[in-house]
Amino acid sequence: MLTLFRFSIRTGDYVYINPLNADFHGFIVIGWWKIQSCTAAAIYDQDILDYPLTYIEAFNNPNIVKYAANNLALTVPYVVDFTGVQDTKPRPFYCTNFDEPDLDNDLNTYFSDHSWRFFTLPSQINIPVSQIYTNHNWVWRSQDGY
């Protein structure tokens, strides 16, 4: 299924995993990179800004291996978890259930088998000013940070 969507998944999209069939949990896609073991990915150190944003950028990256038989880049979406259960180091999406040996946690208490669902988010949304709801009682101040 990932093959069908490789051209649409990009940085900023969301991967929902539904751990334990009860917890609404997912990961942010930070880019595309090499297919590698979860152990190798856990120790790999690369600046988050160096990940190609899309499959096409990864395909054109000389560090990504190409599969000559069908001219595909051997690359997958990399994701990060910001919940504190796992390290925030980027990892291939298939390593979201990897139990990192240097962290003092047992992922079996947090996760069951994952059921990955990729959600692509729009780059922008245009809404006419006339369709934006504002309440006349709202008061906006510059110190609100908006």
Each domain of the chain, given as residue ranges in start order, spans: 2-142
pLDDT digits (tens, 9 = 90+) for 89-144: 888 988 877 655 555 555 555 455 667 788 888 878 888 888 888 888 887 776 65
pTM of the model: 0.71
Alpha helix stretches (DSSP H) within the chain? 2-5, 38-43, 55-59
- Name the burial class of residue 115, with classes exposed (0-12), middle (13-18) and buried (19+) by CB atoms within 10 angstroms of its CB: exposed
Q: Where are the beta strands (DSSP E) in the chain?
A: 14-16, 26-34, 66-67, 72-73, 75-80, 91-92, 117-119
